[in-house]
Amino acid sequence: MLAFASAWQSCGVSVWRFIAAIGVAAGVAAGPARADDDRQVDVIIKKAVALRRQGKDRQALSELQRAAAIASPPRLSAQTGLAEQALGLWVASDKHLRDALDHDGDDPWVRKNRRPLEQSLSAVDGHLGTLDVWGDPEGALVLVDGDPVGKLPLEAPLRVPAETIDLAVRARGFVSLARKLDVAPGASVREHVVLRLVEATPVPPAVVPAVAPAAAVTPAPPETPADAAPADESPSIFGRWWFWTIAAAVVAGGVAGGLLLTRKPASCMGSVCSSF
């Protein structure tokens, strides 16, 4: 048992020594890599400074932004802020100069040039004001001049240009808000916003097309044989029995009357009758 414990302790010590060795090796490997990055950044900074001396501030800023993809030492933030100041990008310049001054202990160049950097920051501040936006709903997106700058509630007041700015606040399911604000140099503006919920649009009931009532169907009359007389027609007068009876009586009366008219009248005198 004691032998097992001794072996385990020895193994554990070996493992920790192995891990420590890996850490040291990684640190040794990272050291040259960081040094190489710093050298690349220094070369780019020198190129950017040369461009600025030629009045090519835009090209200089582009070079400094390229260097930021490699490393971001305080001296790079300071040079970037100075280039942005020359271009009138006041909000971005304010941020980079403050970042550099807040970390001057990490960069000998920034410590050496702290005073001129503070003077540049003061000049930039003369073009800025402060905007504090608060309200509801939580998580609403805040935009200044069309650029997203944070969400409600903001972590800190915003640095904004000292001019007329466009404030917008948006949130899904709420009516967006848009305002124009006048910000004076060095002024602090506080804006309270409360977005209204979007009213639900009532859905109209489904329209059911009207169905025309079925046309009344008149039953067809029963078929009548072609040789049968229509039911509603009276039989011919010549087929009536009483017609022929009357006709016969009329004929008989006519014959009798004719005979009486054609006979000569008889004159009777006494017992002898003679005809005229």
- Are 45 and 76 in contact, with CB atoms under 8 Å apart? yes
Burial class (CB in 10 A: 0-12, 13-18, 19+), 64: buried
Which residue in this structure is represented by tokens 């070996």?
14
Entry pTM: 0.60
Task: List the chain pLDDT tens, one digit each, 276 residues.
Answer: 545 445 545 555 455 454 444 554 444 444 566 778 889 999 999 999 999 999 999 999 999 999 999 998 999 999 999 999 999 999 999 999 999 999 988 899 999 999 999 999 999 999 999 999 999 999 999 999 999 999 999 999 999 999 999 999 999 999 999 999 999 999 999 999 999 999 876 667 766 666 655 555 555 555 555 555 555 555 555 566 666 677 677 666 665 655 555 555 544 444 444 443
Pairing between strand 188-194 and 141-144? unpaired
Reported as half-sphere exposure (CB side, CA atoms, 13 A), residue 51 has a value of 20
Report pLDDT digits (tens) over 155-180.
999 999 999 999 999 999 999 999 99
- Domain CATH code at residue 115: 1.25.40.10
The verdict on residue 85 lying in a domain is yes
Residue that has been written with the tokens 């916003």 in this structure = 193
Judge whether 186 lies within some domain: yes
Looking at the fold, whether 114 and 138 belong to one and the same domain comes out as no
> What does the alpha-carbon distance between residue 111 and residue 209 come to, in Å, rounded to a whole number?
83
The token pair at 29 is 């490997």
Q: Please tell me the total count of domains within the chain.
A: 2
CA angle 267, 268, 272 (to 5 degrees): 130
The C-alpha atoms of residue 51 and residue 82 are separated, in whole angstroms, by: 13
In a domain, 173, yes or no: yes
Count the Cβ atoms, other than its own, within 10 Å of residue 141.
15
Contacts 24+ apart (CB under 8 A), 56-61: 57/83, 57/86, 57/87, 58/87, 61/87
The answer to whether the beta carbons of residues 176 and 197 sit under 8 Å apart is no
**CATH number, domain with residue 147:** 2.60.40.10
Whether residues 52 and 142 fall in one domain: no
In a domain? residue 239? no
Q: Read off the tokens for 255.
A: 């014959």
